[in-house]
Amino acid sequence: MRKALAIVALVAAMFVAGNVQAQTVLYGGYSPETFVAGNTNSNYQGFFVGFAQNFGIAQNVGVTAGAQFRMNTASESTTFLGVTTTTKDTQYLVDVPILFNYGIGINREFKITPFAGPMLSIALAGNTKYTIGSNTSTTDWYGDNSNLNRFNLYAVVGTDVQFSKLNIFGGYRLGLLDLNESDNVILKTNGLFVGLGFKL
């Protein structure tokens, strides 16, 4: 928890400092996620939107800090004897990435920038909705009797390709924390991501 607070404090300090070299980017993209518990994988579709600022700290070297809203979702339906059963999972998260990067300028308009760093993630809500015929019930992932942890920390690597004010980026994130507080279950997450950004 102390590490998470330290990351948030670093982000706040960067924005308060008002570094004149900061560049702001608005972005969105696709971020499927896999929940891994032992030998069982659960695959979710994921989408995100956010903003970030890149602060120059040395020649060609920067650190990007920002925040993004992300959603994971999965659903399946079966029909037996004319009765349809549907299960839909939905999770909402806020991510705070701190990504160190190195810009490789090809020309004045074109730049390739590898990046890597940690990303703090906080689940705002999560639930599973069951529908059997016309009857519906909902299970809260983070209710009073839940073993699930809202907090995660990812290691993120990827590459951004910038052409003029347009950014195309992609990469991989690996969840480092066990999200299930039960002693006999280990639950971790991982996933690829791709996105499109516009520099203001």
The model's confidence at residue 57, banded by pLDDT at 50, 70 and 90, is: confident
Residue 37 in domain: yes
Percent of the chain with pLDDT strictly greater than 70: 90
For 92-114, what is each residue's pLDDT tens digit?
999 999 999 999 988 888 999 99
Residue 178 has pLDDT above 60, yes or no: yes
Amino acid 134: pLDDT: 81
Which residue range(s) make up the domain with 24? 2-71+96-120+149-199
- Report the CATH number that the domain containing residue 161 is assigned in CATH: 2.40.160
Residue 140 in domain: no
Total of domains in the chain: 1
SS (H, E, C) the chain: CHHHHHHHHHHHHHHHHCCCCCEEEEEEEECCEEEEECCEEEEEEEEEEEEEEEEEEECCEEEEEEEEEEEEEEEEEEEECCEEEEEEEEEEEEEEEEEEEECEECCCCEEEEEEEEEEEEEEEEEEEEEEECCEEEEEECCCCCCCECCEEEEEEEEEEEEECCEEEEEEEEEECCCCECCCCCCEEEEEEEEEEEEEC
Percent of the chain with pLDDT strictly greater than 90: 69
